[in-house]
Structure 1
Amino acid sequence: MGNFRSKKIAPQIISSVIEDDFKEVAVPSSNEDFSELERAKVINICGVDKDGRPVIVVAACRFPNNNTKEHHQLLRFIKAKLDIYVENDYSVIYFHHGYHKANKPSFGWLKSAYQEFDRKYKKNIKRLIVVHPTSWMKMIWAMMKPFISAKFGQKLLYVNQLAELSDFIWLNQIPIPLEVQNFDDTKLKSQGLETLNDNTTIAPDSQFAVELDVLIEKQGSLPRVPKEIIKFLLTEENIKVEGIFRRSASNLAIRDTKTIFDQGKTVEFNEPILPSALLKLWFRSLPRSIIPSHCLKEMENVVKASPDKKIDLIRETIISRMDSKSGILQVARTQ
């Protein structure tokens, strides 16, 4: 670990993970305020399917109530989010669970939505997967058939449990709402079936949202993402840049670079802000935090401490109490 020369970089990373409220999703380029829909995470663009196409995830359980301003914004919001991707092939996964009387769009809204999505949206969507469809949902689809082209209808696929999605995508690449996971578990248990096994749904080259022990076993004590990013940040030019963990990177660049990492491809950086944001995302996406629960009190003290005391406090009261094989902590301890 002799190449890691900075006395501040690793503790700064942990401090940033503790304090920053990292925002992963970009706001669509529109003058309209979609902030509430963004916070609700109604739609997410994340990862690629097993054919290499971007995946767009829509969750009905996060639809706004149909008597709110956000409900009337929903169609414009979805179109704004899709505009970045529809010029090329893409897939859509729609989680239907959570679609109920209070938030469901009317039949007229659905008809208008289909008509508003012009050819560029429909042509390049290669697969529309509906998860946990209900009889009511299938009936609505049948009622809409007169307005839907046969070619588009062939792109629709129903799946009744989350495990079936693994035929098309590695599940650790998409955000599955907790309500949907719980519904899937309950449904499978009632049928005497095994619930989803996360170990079988992780892409072979995945770097994000993977258990730290799994990464260490495959890649050594310092996994690929922190290893490559820390090495880049510790160059003489980058180490002098102020506030790299406070400044925002392009959310589109973050998503695209994360996808490249998860595909096992080479990533090249030309400035320090993007890799800093990715490093924070890597820490935040760990299924279990590297900072154990018995350090919560110390974390509160770090947040309250003055800036000039934070680094020493992290090193003395948090890092010193961590028991881990992780190379990132070895870096933090020795700097």
Structure 2
Amino acid sequence: MNQGNEYYDKEFVDPIDGFADDDLISPNDIKDCDPGKVSPLAPIKSFLERDNFESELGSPSDEIYNAEFDEISKLNIVDIIAEGDRAGRPIICVYAFRLPSTKTFNHEVFLQFLQHILDKYVELDYSLIYFHYGLRSNNKPPIKTIIKAFNAFDRRYKKNLKVLAVIHPTRFIKFLWKIFQPFISIKFERKMHYMNSLNELDDIVPVSKLNLPQPIIDYDNSLSDTTKSISSLILPENGIPLPTAQFNVSLDYILSHHPESELPPIVIELVTFLRSYGLKTQGIFRLSGEVNRINKLQQRINMGEKIDFLSDERYKDNINLAIVDASALLKVFLRSLGEPIITNALYPQLIKSLDVPKYEKKEGVKNFIKLLPEKNLILLKYVIEFLLDVANNEHENKMDANNLSVIFGPNLTWPTNQQVPISQLNSLNNFCYILISEYEYIFSNN
């Protein structure tokens, strides 16, 4: 290794020690990390300032895949967890161990594929988790490709990224850091986390929701016998929830302890507040709120406290913050039910009902929701009716049915294992879009 290289000799400052040894840094890597190949990117207009706001979020009717993307999707290198972190933000997981050999894999196309996936989420707050385990010299992308990726992922991809976590880093990550650090802002640097165990990750993201591949879990368990096993994170907690709990319990549990209402009280409270004060807020539901605040609000609500956003000490002088946190809570609630509104059992039927020609989709959705249990249908109708109100104010809040469907589609339904196959994301968004845009037709006589 060329110890004289200024990027490799530069002092590395990071809160986490213990970068494991690896054999990934080659002489060609050092040669290819010429600083002239990495350049800062020019700033661009903010999301809400651009004229094509709606088109950037994408329409559920957009065609997603070409043949190469379809093949990459089958490798499961990238997973989407629609709500995974503790603030209700979608999570994109990237698994290095699933990268094929560089002899057979086109990293240029994979970069395009990753951009295509991120384009669906970059205008929302989101988290990105890279699992470094399994990156070997035979499947490692060339340094030139990594530099190209750094330049391709411009400010549009970085500004709403709230957490960038690298799990099980090695010296190769340290090496890359020295290349890119001069071009990374202090603000972005604060979003980066290096974690040597899944226990550390659990502080930011509920690991139990990630449905991690077994090789990742096995490797983590092999690192140290002194740390808490990941199995303790994926087992349900002991104890019975409080009767007042409304987060991280089932819809049946909530309604059984609130027999006076057909709807979870927290949903009524959040929707009532947002309908009164948030309908004209630009980008409502795009922001996710600060994790600690959202966690504390959930704890207070589960203890039976009713949050009055107008008089609460934290919010009474900051209505915009109240709107952000209330909208985040509604998203978190939908995902914390354990089983989605659409139910696990009906998920295959939903996907089947959407796999029809465009002119048949509306009727297919109308027939599908007739299959829902009554309590689920009542909740779904209430939420969609509110989202229609939001969409009807799109001239001020910039959130039409397309934009809302990108956010709420994966929050209304997901497979049993919590992970939505990338190939089905557009179908879920399209389902939500039809519910909103065809509300009167879909819910009439239901």
Residue 69 of structure 1: how far off its partner (Å):
4.1
| Distance in 2 between residues matched to 1:74 and 1:51, nearest whole Å | 29
| Distance in 1 between residues matched to 2:122 and 2:341, nearest whole Å | 34
Q: Which residue of 1 aligns with 2:111?
A: 75
| Distance in 1 between residues matched to 2:249 and 2:103, nearest whole Å | 41
Give the 5 Å matches for 1:101-250. 101-189=137-225, 192-199=226-233, 205=248, 225=339, 229=343, 244=349, 247=352, 249=354
Q: Deviations over 1:56-96 (max 9, x none)?
A: 11111112322224433110010000111001211111100
What is the identity, as a one-letter code, of the residue corresponding to 2:74?
A: R
How many aligned positions are there? 218
Q: What SS class does the counterpart of residue 176 from structure 1 fall into? A: coil
Which of residues 50, 75, 83 is equivalent to 1:40?
75
Q: Which residue of 2 aligns with 1:92?
A: 128
Q: Deviations over 1:293-320 (max 9, x none)?
A: xxxxxxxxxxxxxxxxxxxxxxxxxxxx
| Distance in 1 between residues matched to 2:148 and 2:223, nearest whole Å | 33
Q: Deviations over 1:281-304 (max 9, x none)?
A: 33x66xxxxxxxxxxxxxxxxxxx
Contact 1:170/1:202, CA 8 A, preserved across alignment: no
| Distance in 1 between residues matched to 2:195 and 2:345, nearest whole Å | 43
| Distance in 1 between residues matched to 2:96 and 2:220, nearest whole Å | 15
What is the identity, as a one-letter code, of the residue corresponding to 2:176?
A: I
Q: What SS class does the counterpart of residue 78 from structure 1 fall into? A: helix
Structure 1 residues 201 and 50 mapped into 2: Cα distance closer, same or farther (>3 Å)? farther
Contact 1:60/1:94, CA 8 A, preserved across alignment: yes
Residue 28 of structure 1: how far off its partner (Å):
7.7
Contact 2:91/2:126, CA 8 A, preserved across alignment: yes
Residue 198 of structure 1: how far off its partner (Å):
3.4
| Distance in 1 between residues matched to 2:340 and 2:119, nearest whole Å | 32
Unpaired runs of 5+ residues, structure 1, are 1-26, 208-214, 234-242, 251-265, 286-335
| Distance in 2 between residues matched to 1:64 and 1:231, nearest whole Å | 34
Residue 38 of structure 1: how far off its partner (Å):
0.8
| Distance in 2 between residues matched to 1:113 and 1:230, nearest whole Å | 37
- TM-score normalised by structure 1 residue count: 0.55
Residue 111 of structure 1: how far off its partner (Å):
1.1
- TM-score normalised by structure 2 residue count: 0.42
| Distance in 2 between residues matched to 1:113 and 1:231, nearest whole Å | 40
Residue 197 of structure 1: how far off its partner (Å):
3.7
What is the identity, as a one-letter code, of the residue corresponding to 1:205?
A: N
Contact 2:341/2:380, CA 8 A, preserved across alignment: no
Q: Which has the higher contact order (CA 8 A, sep 6+)?
A: 1
Residue 165 of structure 1: how far off its partner (Å):
1.2
Q: Which residue of 2 aligns with 1:51?
A: 87
Give the 5 Å matches for 1:282-293. 282=416
Residue 45 of structure 1: how far off its partner (Å):
1.4
| Distance in 2 between residues matched to 1:173 and 1:230, nearest whole Å | 15
What is the identity, as a one-letter code, of the residue corresponding to 2:380?
A: E
Q: What SS class does the counterpart of residue 76 from structure 1 fall into? A: helix
Q: What SS class does the counterpart of residue 128 from structure 1 fall into? A: strand
Which of residues 64, 75, 95 is equivalent to 1:29?
64
Contact 1:43/1:57, CA 8 A, preserved across alignment: yes
Residue 114 of structure 1: how far off its partner (Å):
0.8
Q: Which residue of 1 aligns with 2:313?
A: none
Residue 229 of structure 1: how far off its partner (Å):
4.5
Unpaired runs of 5+ residues, structure 2, are 1-61, 238-246, 258-336, 356-377, 385-408, 419-446
Structure 1 residues 141 and 249 mapped into 2: Cα distance closer, same or farther (>3 Å)? farther
Q: Deviations over 1:163-197 (max 9, x none)?
A: 111111111221312111110011123xx444124
Residue 55 of structure 1: how far off its partner (Å):
1.0
Q: What SS class does the counterpart of residue 352 from structure 2 fall into? A: coil
Q: What SS class does the counterpart of residue 66 from structure 1 fall into? A: coil
User: For the aligned residues, what is the CA RMSD?
Assistant: 4.0
Residue 140 of structure 1: how far off its partner (Å):
1.7
Structure 1 residues 180 and 246 mapped into 2: Cα distance closer, same or farther (>3 Å)? closer
Q: What SS class does the counterpart of residue 112 from structure 2 fall into? A: helix
